Amino acid sequence: MDDERAVAQVLARYVRAADHRDGAAMSVQFVEDAVAQIYYNNEGTREKLAELTGAEAIGKAVAGLMAPHPPRGWSHHTTHDHIIEVEGDEATLDAQFVVFNTQGHERPAEGWPAGASGAQGRITPTESGYYQSRLRRVDGAWRVFHHTILLDQPTALPGA
């Protein structure tokens, strides 16, 4: 696999770990002393919302600070328009993202009503912005050492 594809797959694993609220899967995407910073893009001015240091802390935040999914609910972090630059054993990755929350309707005990077809529920976009990561090749694998989340909307974070 070429380096650009390998770097893109780190972000693919990152968003899946976030969707699954899987701290262990998230933390392995980062080097041990990684830094993750979260900002709100307030009319072009970055307002810092939070900073996490260390792969373990980043994983714990995903597992413990993100709200659990409700029954029949899920989230999908999608990324688009990746800009990847690789120079030796370091790389940068800049991607747009949108988070969609899904909520399935509960199937009525008597079954779906006559005429019902297709997906039963709703999909709502809830978050958007940019992921901007700096990665390093460690023992042959790409890992994030600095990760910036730049949110398009103000966000309330626990303790912030």
Is 158's pLDDT higher than 80? no
Q: Which pLDDT value is given to residue 1?
A: 81
Is 128's pLDDT higher than 70? yes
Fold of 3-108+119-151: Nuclear Transport Factor 2; Chain: A, (3.10.450)
Higher pLDDT, residue 63 or 129:
129
Q: Which pLDDT value is given to residue 64?
A: 78
Q: What tens digit of pLDDT does each residue of 61-106 get? A: 988 777 888 999 999 999 999 999 999 999 999 999 999 999 999 9
Q: Which pLDDT value is given to residue 159?
A: 61
**Can you give the pTM of this predicted structure?**
0.91
Edge-to-edge order in the sheet of strand 30-42 = 45-53, 30-42, 141-151, 121-138, 90-104, 73-87
Higher pLDDT, residue 1 or 91:
91
Is 45's pLDDT higher than 70? yes
Q: Average pLDDT of the chain?
A: 94
Mean pLDDT of 42-60: 95
Q: Which pLDDT value is given to residue 160?
A: 55
Q: Which pLDDT value is given to residue 67?
A: 81
